[in-house]
Amino acid sequence: MTGIYIISKHPMFGEGIEEMLRRRGGVEILGFERDITKAIDQIIELKPEIVVYDCNADQDEINAAIMQILKKGVEVKIIGLDIQSNTFLVYKREQHEVQQLEDLFQEIEPRRLYES
């Protein structure tokens, strides 16, 4: 089962996402929080595999929360859903050691496949 944590200041958004995920199966909803500060503490404690958040919230507050979660070393995929533009964003904590310029190019090159 995949542990999921939901952050949304809009209860209907969060409850709707939670219901859809439960119906799909294979997931365990570990928490749902409206307050981002409380959510950060719970995410660090619960260590879900995935955090789903509402992109339509205060973007500066969300960005700060994402950075704080990732800096704490929680191995989590963070997915932001924007129902207004029908898009989503994905953040993953990855760390790669770069020892020479070629290492940097290797990190950049695979992304070119998706740019065309």
Residue 7: what pLDDT?
92
CA distance 77 to 108: 20
Residue 25: what pLDDT?
84
Q: Dig out the tokens for 6 from the structure.
A: 């939901």
The strand pairing partners of 79, in sequence order, are: 52, 90
Residue 89: what pLDDT?
72
pLDDT, one tens digit for every residue, the chain (116 residues): 899 999 998 888 889 989 988 888 889 999 999 998 899 999 999 999 999 988 776 778 878 888 888 888 788 888 888 777 777 777 665 555 556 667 666 665 654 444 44
- Cα-only R_g, the chain: 16
State CA 44 to chain mean position distance. Answer: 13
| Class of 2-112 in CATH | alpha beta
Pick left, alpha or beta for residue 78 (phi over 0 → left; psi -120 to 50 → alpha; otherwise beta). beta
Residue 61: what pLDDT?
81
Residue 60: what pLDDT?
81
Residue 115: what pLDDT?
46
